[in-house]
């Protein structure tokens, strides 16, 4: 409890790129509030989505393949990419789950991408966006997502727990994203089952490939550990497997590929090593 209280006291709102993205997400939430009744109705009527957590448990490192048109760090990646066709190619290449970027201004995403992907594949879908309010959990469920991303650095520990409770009530899984031990402690306290370690600092956009190597072994063995950002080659996947990754989330390199199925196939089926303890 003492450590949890210390974590809450030391959290400060994000700055840099992440700070701007969160401010824009807050503005989008205000617009969503006019649609609350509609979203709640659609969420209640939405069919049960396939479990992402279940899909990531395998003898090999699961690939979460991302539909990604652009990013703040790279600019345009694949601006004409169609979510449905890309999803089908990823599935053909052996992806275990898909990450669908829905943030519109900086990543070129749209909510309709989730529907297009769901119409094309039976894989679990992660709604990847900057989620800051419980109403966005309702929206994710209404859109048919299996899971939603929650970035520990983006919200206070109190708000993170609110998001976790809202998702649980809706039957929506969460992938919690962390970069250090303090954030890991926070998400474990919120009951996190799936935990991603992002090599990219979203405030500065700098990638440090050692972040996942350092943090993955610290994730309890009964949780699902995901390495994120900077994964391009089979050797990268093997390196994170050796550090204890159960899955990798890969976006830019496969979204930019002329043969998305082949790009996923090239990094799939790397043996999982696991974590002790």
127, 177, 199, 255: the catalytic one is 177
Residue 9 confidence (pLDDT): 56
Cα distance between residue 181 and residue 203, in whole Å: 17
100 with 28: CB under 8 angstroms?
no
d(CA 16, CA 233): 29
Q: Which of 71, 99, 103, 128 is catalytic?
A: 128
Which of the listed CATH numbers 3.20.20.70, 3.30.360.10, 3.40.50.2000, 3.40.50.300 matches domain 2-267?
3.20.20.70
CA-CA distances (angstroms) from residue 33 to 26, 30, 129? Answer: 11, 5, 17
Considering 71, 99, 146, 198, which one is annotated as catalytic?
198
> What backbone torsions phi and psi does residue 6 show, to the nearest 5 degrees?
-65, -40
66 is catalytic: yes
Q: Which of 68, 91, 199, 252 is catalytic?
A: 68
Is residue 228 among the annotated active site residues?
yes
Confirm if 136 and 29 have CB atoms less than 8 A apart. Answer: yes
Return the pLDDT at 30: 96
Pick the catalytic residue from 71, 127, 228, 255. 228
Q: What is the mean pLDDT for each group of 10 consecutive residues in the chain (277 residues)?
A: 49 97 97 97 97 98 97 94 98 98 96 97 98 98 98 98 98 98 97 98 96 98 97 97 98 95 98 86
Task: Kindly name the residue from 71, 146, 199, 229 that is annotated as catalytic.
Answer: 229
Q: Output the pLDDT for position 166.
A: 98
Instruction: Measure CA of the first residue to CA of the last residue in the chain; give whole Å.
Output: 22
Q: Domain locations in the chain?
A: 2-267
Asked about 198 being catalytic, the answer comes back as yes
Is residue 17 exposed (0-12), middle (13-18) or buried (19+ Cβ within 10 Å)? middle
Residue 162 annotated to the active site: no
């Amino acid at each position: 409890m003492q450590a949890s209280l210390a974590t809450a006291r030391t959290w400060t709102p994000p700055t840099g790129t992440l700070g701007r993205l969160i401010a824009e997400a807050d503005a989008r939430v205000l617009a969503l509030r006019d649609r609350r009744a509609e979203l709640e109705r659609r969420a209640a009527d939405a069919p049960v989505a396939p479990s992402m957590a279940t899909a990531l448990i395998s003898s090999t490192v699961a690939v979460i393949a991302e539909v990604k048109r652009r990013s703040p760090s790279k600019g345009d990646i694949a601006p004409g990419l169609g979510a449905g066709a890309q999803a089908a190619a990823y599935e053909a290449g052996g992806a275990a789950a898909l990450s669908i970027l829905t943030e519109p201004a900086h990543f070129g995403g749209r909510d309709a991408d989730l529907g297009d992907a769901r119409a094309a594949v039976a894989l679990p879908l992660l709604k990847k966006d900057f989620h800051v309010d419980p109403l966005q959990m309702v929206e994710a469920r209404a859109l048919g997502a299996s899971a939603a991303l929650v970035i520990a650095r983006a919200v206070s520990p109190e708000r993170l727990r609110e998001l976790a409770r809202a998702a649980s009530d809706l039957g929506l899984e969460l992938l919690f994203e962390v970069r250090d031990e303090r954030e890991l402690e926070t998400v474990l306290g919120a009951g996190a089952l799936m935990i991603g370690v992002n090599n990219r600092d979203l405030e500065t956009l700098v990638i440090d490939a050692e972040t996942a190597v350092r943090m993955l072994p610290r994730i309890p063995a009964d949780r699902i550990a995901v390495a994120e950002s900077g994964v391009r080659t089979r050797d990268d996947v093997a390196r994170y497997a050796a550090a204890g990754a159960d899955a990798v989330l890969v976006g830019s390199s496969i979204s930019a590929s002329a043969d998305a199925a082949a790009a996923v196939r090239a990094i799939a089926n790397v043996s999982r090593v696991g974590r002790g303890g």
